[in-house]
Amino acid sequence: VKKPTRKYLLLAVIALGTWVWFRSGDSDEKRIRKCFDRLAECVTKPSGEQSVMMAAKMHNLGNVFADTCYFECERAMMTGDYTPEEVSSHAVRARSLFGDVKLAFYDLNVLLSGEGRATATVTARLTGTMKSGESFQETHELDCVLAKCEDDWRINKVVVVQVLDK
């Protein structure tokens, strides 16, 4: 390999290494992103899901939320404080309506406000098939508040933003 080419290759390797090192760190923002990833994983239901798998997911779902989580969703008439157990039982009931369902988060913007609190804005997209065979698709913007509990971030507040108001 020629000398100038070797120099450029070395620069590329250093840049790649820096990027990998930067991405692999475990900052608060990354932990919050992981919290949303866990939430998406718990809500997602593949067709023919085993009940053992469902029970494990619902148990994990409770660990995503703080001891009391405030939900504000006028459309679903679901406004108020909920415990993780109540969230899990609502999720079990909602999931039973679907043959399969997938929750995905996009455009997660995190703002750390200090003192173990953070706000996050995200687009949540729920797609799936109802038990009746009808396909289902809902997209909402969520404003969330998260609180840090023992090195882990938990969702403390979820407000469904009304993007279109009939």
Partner 1 sequence: MKAGDDSTEAPPRNALSRFFFPSLTPGYVLRVLGIAACAYIVFSRVLIPLHINGTSMEPTYHDRAWNLCWRFRYRSSLPERGDVVVVRFAGMRVMLLKRVVALSGETVEFRGGKLFVNGEEQVEPYVATPCDWELSPRVVEEGKVYVVGDNRGVPMANHKFGQTSVLRIVGAPLW
Q: Which residues contribute to the site for partner 1 (CB under 8 A)?
A: 4-5, 8-9, 106-109, 121-123, 125, 137, 139-142, 163-166
At 114, list the tokens: 């200090």
CB of 166 to partner 1, least distance (A): 4
Nearer to partner 1, 150 or 165 (CB): 165
Nearer to partner 1, 64 or 122 (CB): 122
CB of 10 to partner 1, least distance (A): 12
Sign of CA dihedral 51, 139, 76, 117: positive
Q: Name 154's Cβ contacts closer than 8 Å, sequence gap at least 6.
A: 35, 63, 64, 65, 66, 146, 147, 148
CB of 121 to partner 1, least distance (A): 5
Report how far residue 90's alpha carbon sits from residue 42's, in angstroms, rounded to the nearest whole number: 13
Nearer to partner 1, 50 or 137 (CB): 137
